Every structure is written in C-alpha cells, then in structure tokens.
Amino acid sequence: MKGNTTCTLSELPLGEEAVITGMPKDEYLCSKLVQYGITNKVRIKKVYCAPLSDPCAYLYRGTLISLRNSDAEKIIVSCHKKRNRHN
C-alpha cells in the first residue's frame, strides 16, 4: 500500500484505524495486552477520549478498551497517511 506511515498508538488521530506493527518492549505490559487479545496485526481504532484527554478508548476486534496514553505510546501502529497539515 502506498503512503503508509507508522506512529505510536497514542499519536493516532481520533477516529483513525491502524494496524499494530510493534508491541511494547516492556514484557509485563506486552503480556497484559496479549491477554486482552491485543497483538501484532490486530486492527485498532481510537474512538474517543476521556474528558481530561487521557485515557482513550480503542476499538479492536469488536471490543472497546481503555488505555492510558503512557501505555499506548509504547505500541507502534501503521496507518494511512492523511493530510499532514502540521508539518
């Protein structure tokens, strides 16, 4: 696919869907996520955030889950490149 870009899950814009390409190096966090069924190749979408912008809710495999930004930033995802207005 053309124009794919990687970023961390926490940087993923609201409403965007992406595919997980890199799980956290932190083994403990990684095993926790895997137990919830979050692994490489899983499609995940950021759907909404809590009033203080953290944590955010993600939809994957039909399940809604809450992740803190500090945990989500350790997950690498690949998503379509869209209007990159800021830079």
Binding residues for other proteins (CB under 8 A)? 28-37, 39-42, 47-48, 50-55, 57, 59, 61-68, 70-71
Report how far apart the first and last C-alpha atoms of the chain are (Å, whole number): 22
Minimum separation from the CB atom of position 26 to other proteins (A): 8
Q: Say how far apart CA 11 and CA 73 lie, in whole Å.
A: 7
Q: Say how far apart CA 76 and CA 25 lie, in whole Å.
A: 11
Minimum separation from the CB atom of position 32 to other proteins (A): 6
Minimum separation from the CB atom of position 13 to other proteins (A): 15
